[in-house]
Amino acid sequence: MDFFTIVQLGDASVRMAIPLLLACLAGLFSERAGIFDIGLEGKMLAAAFLSAGVSFASGNVWVGLMAGIGISVALSIIHGLASITFRGNQLISGVAINFFAAGLTVVIAQGWFAQGGRTPSLPKDARFNGLDFPGALTRVRDKMQASPGMQFYSEFVSGHSILVYLGLLTVPLSWWILYRTRFGLRLRAVGEAPEAVDTAGISVVRLRYSAVIIAGILCGIAGAYLSTAVQAGFTKDMTANRGFIALAALIFAKWRPWYALGACLLFGLFFAIDNRFQNIQLQVIWIMVLLIGSAAAMTVYALRREKIDVLVLGGLSAVLAAIALVTWFGTASGEGINMIAALWETVKVPSQLIQSLPYLFVVIVLAGFVGKAIPPRAGGQPYVKER
Amino acid sequence: MDKMPKWADVVLVPVVSLLLAAIISAIVFLAIGQNPWEALKLMAYGAVGTSDFLGYTLFYATNFIFTGLAVAVAFHASLFNIGGEGQVLLGGLGAAIAVLLVPWPHWTLALIAGGTAAALFGALWVVIPAYLQARRGSHIVITTIMFNFMASGLLVFMLSGPLKPEGQMQVASGLFPDASKLPSLNDIAEMFGSDMFGRSPVNISIFIALLACVAVWALIWHTRLGYQIRALGKSESAAKYAGISAVNITMIALLISGGLAGMMAINNTMGINSPQLVDNAAGGAGFIGIAVALMGRNHPVGIVIAALLFGALYQGGAELAAVTDVQVQIVIVIQALVIMFTGALDEMVRSPIEKLFLRFGRETAVEE
């Protein structure tokens, strides 16, 4: 892998990370204020649709962006109504918003544009296009022959749409708001101990509504980025579970802005690798080491604990070991060679497995073996005055 | 004193929620230039207009009874199993393996084997999320969502590799042997000389679904385990103080939930007219289970009624999409509205009704 490939991979990671990052920060504001939000996905999707639709109709992408933010904030307010005003179940409200957006975008797109549930392709001037910095090369052939520093500047630093730079700026901005302003202090407090905030004479309801509205704005930008910068138009289910991955990144980031940037870049790298390398080959011996190694680690962990741990983790270890053995024997019988030689054969890793890696990683993170993540204490509980 | 009579809680609140959902749906129809009344008539005809359509409605309702029960059992333990979709897919995998591996001589044996395997696979798919919830406190909602995505990856892998017969183009398993096909209600009707239900796939799984309802009812309200599940759901600390193991009950409740979702596979793989496991076999039924459980107030009787309603909605929506320009996703919009009003905005619907009853109740009390 040459340097330019690495730069390209980094470039793609950043592009992939931006919508995750914006959604992740949206979740951060909401959850820091004590409101769980699994409706990030739906808000992004609705914003992606409306910003593409309005950009197409008006020919101005900024108007489209505003429309996207508008619908996303509207859904946020519905979520606020359900979870703050009427003290309903925040998870169920989020689920409903996700389905609402998934269904409505397609139905309305068909009703307005009659192209099978998508918006028409956006012309170039109704999109967010890449900004070329002064002196940056734009043609791939020029870039490949340039010096490493120039490659880095032209490919990695320059050439993104303005939303990418704005998205990256939201990280220090969020940090500053949360940790250096009075509003941020109160917002964090309302997620930990709303009764204390209430006693101090500050409105819990108003703070929480502000938090979900900020979440709506960020999700709106994320959605608009997908349909007007990454792609030229809205297609059905185009958010492709990014809202859920953002939630996982949020937990991995322990509800902190800078960590969120790191987590989202890591997930962005996963997607970039998945997009670029379709055919990943691995030697059988590495598969064996990986699978049997984790099986052994889990068994050792379980044996020192209770019966239920032995049962579950032991069973999982057995499954992993079985997969390893099936791969080994399968290679040996398929190639007609002896067992030892089969260890050095390469097999193709199923593309479905590569695509599932982000989700698998999320589960491992959630299992809490990679550092303990402690959510805001009052998260998910409606606040009732004078209980 | 009760704030309002039981019938109001069980009947009136869901009906009002449903009406609100219907009003918003009507607005959606208007926004895309369709006449809501015409659309409703078309959907009603598509759902129950002919004996074929009715059969499809019952077929979908069977799916939703299973997934609705699955969500409800977890809800009784205050757990939100949103992974029904993945558990259904794994159930299908289990059923396909059980039926394709052994040439069962009769459908009754195939039903027992396939049903057991489906339930087992569905339950196994929830083991890790359940364990992580019970032992590590990882949130069941996020983990089961992730397991849904992984399940669809696993299914595509199995259907495009190990389970796909040589030379078949479609991403699907081979057809199940004829002997293992579950009799459809039409087959039964034909024995009496009638052609009821026509070509629709509704089959004897619907009776298994109803049996499952009775079993869940007995389990939740008439066994020690059911009591423990409900106790845990009401208050974890009180349940622990009463000597109930939160870890074990969490695991068991979720395993039962996953098993019920997996059982759905007997209907949508072994029961259909050309029985096989196809990609995306669940078709959203796992998620509709959430709406069904919420609307049915987590009670088997309510779940059957809600499942019939959603079966009609699903089939009616498909017919609507077939004859008009409306996309079939309109069903998802209505489903979302029902989840919103019966689940998250329950308080908004309930509290005005409660206030009405309080005022009314007080007046009668004074008269007495």
What's the whole-number mean pLDDT along residues B163-184?
Answer: 85
What's the whole-number mean pLDDT along residues A130-144?
Answer: 78
DSSP element (H, E) containing A168:
helix A162-180
What's the whole-number mean pLDDT along residues A176-205?
Answer: 94
pLDDT at residue A387 greater than cutoff 60: no
- Cα A5–chain centre separation: 24
Kindly state the greatest CA–CA separation across chain B: 81
Residue pLDDT, tens place only, B215-236? 999 999 999 999 999 999 999 8
Considering CB atoms only, which of A88, A108, A117 is closest to B345? A88
Higher pLDDT, B209 or A366: B209
CATH number of the domain bearing residue B93: 1.10.3470
What span, in angstroms and rounded, lies between the C-alpha atoms of B194 and B162? Answer: 41
Asked if B157's CB is within 8 angstroms of A353's CB, the reply is: yes
> Which of chain B's residues have a Cβ under 8 Å away from the Cβ of A350?
157, 161
Q: Which residues of A1-14 are buried (b: 16+ CB within 10 A; e: fewer)?
A: eeebeebbbbbbbb
Residue of B25, B332, B341 for testing the chain A interface, max A β-carbons within 10 Å: B332
CB within 8 Å of B274: residues ≥ 6 apart? B175
What span, in angstroms and rounded, lies between the C-alpha atoms of B14 and A334? Answer: 59
DSSP B236-261: HHHHHHTT--HHHHHHHHHHHHHHHH
Token pair belonging to A306 = 């209770």
Considering CB atoms only, which of B143, B150, B153 is closest to A366? B143
What are the backbone dihedrals phi and psi of residue B278, each rounded to the nearest 5 degrees, phi first? Answer: -110, 165
The answer to whether residue B96 sits within a structural domain is yes
What span, in angstroms and rounded, lies between the C-alpha atoms of B181 and B227? Answer: 38
The answer to whether residue B36 sits within a structural domain is no
Residue of B20, B85, B139 for testing the chain A interface, max A β-carbons within 10 Å: B139
Q: Does B136 touch chain A (CB under 8 A)?
A: yes
pLDDT at residue B368 greater than cutoff 70: no
Token pair belonging to A49 = 């649709």
What's the whole-number mean pLDDT along residues A77-83?
Answer: 95
* CB contact at 8 A, A246 and A45: no
Considering CB atoms only, which of A95, A309, A366 is closest to B339? A95
Q: pTM (2 decimals)?
A: 0.90
pLDDT reported for residue B160: 86
Segment of A69-73, A360-364, B282-286 carrying the highest mean pLDDT: A69-73
What are the backbone dihedrals phi and psi of residue A130, each rounded to the nearest 5 degrees, phi first? Answer: -65, 140
Q: Does B332 touch chain A (CB under 8 A)?
A: yes
What span, in angstroms and rounded, lies between the C-alpha atoms of A291 and B366? Answer: 74
pLDDT at residue B207 greater than cutoff 80: yes
Residue pLDDT, tens place only, B80-135? 999 999 999 999 999 999 999 988 999 999 999 999 999 999 999 999 999 999 98
DSSP element (H, E) containing A347:
strand A346-348
The answer to whether residue B350 sits within a structural domain is no
pLDDT at residue A144 greater than cutoff 60: yes
CB within 8 Å of B324: residues ≥ 6 apart? B34, B39, B42
* CB contact at 8 A, B80 and B74: yes
pLDDT at residue B363 greater than cutoff 60: yes
Q: Nearest-CA residue of chain A relative to B137?
A: A367
Total number of domains constituting chain B: 1
> Which of chain A's residues have a Cβ under 8 Å away from the Cβ of B154?
352, 356
> Which of chain A's residues have a Cβ under 8 Å away from the Cβ of B343?
88-89, 92-93, 95-96
Percent of chain A at pLDDT above 90? 48
- Cα A47–chain centre separation: 16
Residue of A105, A107, A212 for testing the chain B interface, max B β-carbons within 10 Å: A107
Domain at A3-276: CATH architecture: Orthogonal Bundle (1.10)
pLDDT at residue A130 greater than cutoff 50: yes
Residue B51 CB-density burial (10 A; 0-12 exposed, 13-18 middle, 19+ buried): middle
> Which of chain A's residues have a Cβ under 8 Å away from the Cβ of B248?
308
Q: Nearest-CA residue of chain A relative to B346?
A: A88
What's the whole-number mean pLDDT along residues A126-143?
Answer: 80
What's the whole-number mean pLDDT along residues B170-195?
Answer: 86
pLDDT reported for residue B366: 54
What span, in angstroms and rounded, lies between the C-alpha atoms of B93 and B125? Answer: 11
Spans of all domains in chain A? 3-276, 281-348
Percent of chain B at pLDDT above 90? 61
Give long-range contacts, CB 8 A cutoff, 24+ apart: B98-105: B99/B176, B99/B177, B99/B180, B99/B270, B99/B275, B100/B163, B100/B173, B100/B174, B100/B176, B100/B177, B103/B177, B103/B179, B104/B177, B104/B179, B104/B180, B105/B179
What's the whole-number mean pLDDT along residues B143-149?
Answer: 92
* CB contact at 8 A, B181 and B275: yes
pLDDT reported for residue B136: 84
* CB contact at 8 A, A280 and A349: yes
Look at A288-297, B3-12, B51-60 and tell me which has the smallest mean pLDDT.
B3-12
Higher pLDDT, A77 or B172: A77
The answer to whether residue B243 sits within a structural domain is yes
DSSP element (H, E) containing A283:
strand A281-283
pLDDT reported for residue B1: 44
What span, in angstroms and rounded, lies between the C-alpha atoms of A27 and B31? Answer: 31
- The single residue listed with the structure tokens 């040439």 is B103
What is the pLDDT of chain B when averaged over all its residues?
90
pLDDT interval class at A336 (50, 70, 90): low
Residue pLDDT, tens place only, A31-63? 999 999 999 999 999 999 999 999 999 999 999
Kindly provide the ipTM of the predicted complex, given to two decimals. 0.89
Token pair belonging to B342 = 């019966």
Look at A143-157, B163-177, B195-209, B317-331 and tell me which has the smallest mean pLDDT.
A143-157
